[in-house]
Amino acid sequence: MILLQIATADNKVSTVLFLGTIGMLALTIGLIVFIIFHQRKVIRYQMRLQGMEQDQQKMLLNASIRMQEEERQRIAADLHDDAGPLLATARLYLNENLVNLDKASQLQSIYNAKQIIDDTIQLIRNISHSLMPPTLKNFGLESAVNDLFQKISGSGSMNASSRFHDYKERLQPETELIIFRVIQELVNNILKHSNSSFIHLTQNTSGNKFFIRMHHDGRGLTQTDFEKLNKSNVGLGLKNIQSRLKVLHGRIFFEKDMSQTYYKVTIELIKDEDGKPQ
Amino acid sequence: MLLFALLSYVSPVLPLVLFFIYFKRNNKLELRVVFLYILASFLTNLALSFFENGRTIILHVFTLFEYSFFAFFFYLVIRNRLFRRIIFVLSMIFLVTAIFFIISSAKNKFDSLAASISAILVIVYAIYYFYEQMTDPKMLIIYQSPHFWIATGCLIYLAGTLFLFLFTSEINGNQEDPWWGINNLLDTIKNLFFTIAFVIKRDHTLPQGFEDNGNTNMTEKPF
């Protein structure tokens, strides 16, 4: 009604005023509508990202639980299938009839039982070492990795070497264990799938970051492959690596070397105030 | 036209009353500033109807008050320190110059320039406020914030009346003039937005339609 009255005014100023006012109002309303719709779109986008992150977390958690279960099953199987029969056999040698046997037979039985118990001790030691490598516990990450690589090289199937540049003092035991497990898993994958002739590991630091890099010349993964496997239901080991690194706020990158000859895996960790990875 | 004038006169009562009813949720400095502005606006309307002779001086003073209240409101709600400093400096320059011109210029004439400049400055502050909200990564629905409704009210009122202030000398001061009808209508709308700001529930949960349906299709980008 007002605008109608204004529009009918034949004054030039009125026209400018009319158009100016309408234009300003249209611009303002347009701006506000744009802001509201833009914000709704941004929120939807953020929600989707959050959803994806939650799914990823769920998958990592599942992977970690499955890994734990598999580890438990392996230990149970080792104990049940190896230690159990060994101890049962030792018990047979040491049964009540032993006292009724002649001296030579008694000595033979005791000797056999002792041998079996020694084997069992060795077996349990092996299980315990696989749970927590003593080199890692006593001498640190560098020695444990060198030890692991020496064993691989010793097998003759692959040449493995490692070099730690900035590892002057030991990290937190839990941190070292996590890093070692990640390296172990990566090495396992390389041994199983890559068909490479060598693995070389280097460690160094740069600014507030702690890097571990591994090179190999076999078939490897790129970051895209890693992300694909991480989102799929396969690649349990990779998910496990991801969940372990998440604890340390670390990241992992898979890439093909510039020369397209080597595959490179980089583990990146952030150092805390003491200069050690968190 | 008189209906719009009447609405404009009585519309401040609504946010004033609701401010007190929902005092607990409105007891924040920036909202108290808006409350004081509405009160000043209401008292100015009353004064304009009582003092026919001093209308121009009342309008002069109200222009300065209006600018100061809005500038202070945006100073409080904008987070960028540099822009807050800019608001402060621009406000000082504007207020000193406006007071000087009001004193030196004709006392019986509405200061169109000061009103227009004040409107432009507040529009700039409001647009910056919206820009800041848009770039804020925090997940909060913008229209659940009272600041949004206040900024919207300011923006619509000042953008709609900017040309009116610029051409004040060309139109007559009679309240029956349709142009003043626009001013009164926008003033009423502004007061309605302020009312929404005072009654709106600060609910930080997401409204319907935002529930995550598990669809992880990332083809839709926000920009």
Walk along chain B (223 residues) and give the pLDDT tens digit of each residue. Answer: 677 778 888 888 999 999 989 888 888 899 999 999 999 999 988 888 888 777 788 888 888 999 999 999 999 999 999 999 999 999 999 999 888 887 777 556 667 788 889 999 999 999 999 998 888 766 567 888 899 999 999 999 999 989 888 887 776 655 556 777 888 889 999 999 999 999 987 765 555 555 444 333 333 333 3
Question: How confident is the model at residue B220, as a pLDDT?
Answer: 35
State how far residue A15 is from chain B, nearest Cα, in angstroms. Answer: 11
Distance (Å, whole) CA B66 – CA B74: 12
Question: How confident is the model at residue A278, as a pLDDT?
Answer: 62
Q: What is the CATH number of the domain that holds A198?
A: 3.30.565.10
Q: Give residue A240's domain range.
A: 133-278
Q: Is residue B212 part of a domain?
A: no
Question: How confident is the model at residue B151, as a pLDDT?
Answer: 94
Q: A173 with A45, same domain?
A: no
Q: Is residue B210 part of a domain?
A: no
Distance (Å, whole) CA B161 – CA A28: 12
State how far residue B98 is from chain A, nearest Cα, in angstroms. Answer: 24
Strands ordered across the beta sheet of A159-164: A159-164, A198-206, A209-216, A263-270, A251-256
Q: Is residue B204 part of a domain?
A: no
Q: Give residue B73's domain range.
A: 2-199
Q: Could you give the number of structural domains in chain B?
A: 1
Q: A143 with A7, same domain?
A: no
State how far residue B200 is from chain A, nearest Cα, in angstroms. Answer: 16
Look at A5 and B159 and tell me if their CB atoms are within 8 Å: no
Q: Could you give the number of structural domains in chain A?
A: 2
**How many other C-beta atoms lie within 10 A of the C-beta of residue A180?**
19
Instruction: Take residue B92 and report the two structure tokens written for it.
Output: 């000082």
Which of A27, A38, A45 has its CB closest to that of B134? A38
Q: A145 with A54, same domain?
A: no
The 3-state DSSP class for residue B71 equals helix
Write out the E strands in A128-208. Answer: 159-164, 198-206
- State the residue for tokens 């079996």: A116
Q: Is residue A263 part of a domain?
A: yes
- Is the ipTM, as predicted for this complex, more than 0.90? no
Q: Is residue A150 part of a domain?
A: yes
Which of B130, B164, B170 has its CB closest to that of A21? B164
The 3-state DSSP class for residue B199 equals helix
A132 and B CB contact within 8 Å: no
Distance (Å, whole) CA B90 – CA B94: 6
**How many other C-beta atoms lie within 10 A of the C-beta of residue A155?**
10
A26 in Cβ contact with A202 (< 8 Å): no
Which of B159, B179, B222 has its CB closest to that of A41? B222
Which chain B residues contact residue A29 at CB under 8 A? 156
CA-angle at B130, arms to B128 and B134, nearest 5°? 115
The 3-state DSSP class for residue A43 equals helix
A109 in Cβ contact with A98 (< 8 Å): yes
Question: How confident is the model at residue A98, as a pLDDT?
Answer: 77
Terminal-residue alpha carbon distance, chain B: 44
Boundary (domain end) residue, out of A58, A74, A101 = A58
Q: Is residue B65 part of a domain?
A: yes
Distance (Å, whole) CA A275 – CA A208: 7
CA-angle at A268, arms to A51 and A182, nearest 5°? 85
* Probe site for chain B from A13, A24, A31 (most B CB atoms < 10 A): A24
Question: How confident is the model at residue B211, as a pLDDT?
Answer: 47
Low-confidence ranges of chain A (pLDDT < 70): 1-11, 273-278
Which of B127, B185, B215 has its CB closest to that of A2? B185
Q: Is residue B215 part of a domain?
A: no
Q: Is residue B218 part of a domain?
A: no
Question: How confident is the model at residue B154, as a pLDDT?
Answer: 93
Q: A265 with A143, same domain?
A: yes
Boundary (domain end) residue, out of A22, A38, A58 = A58
The 3-state DSSP class for residue A73 equals helix
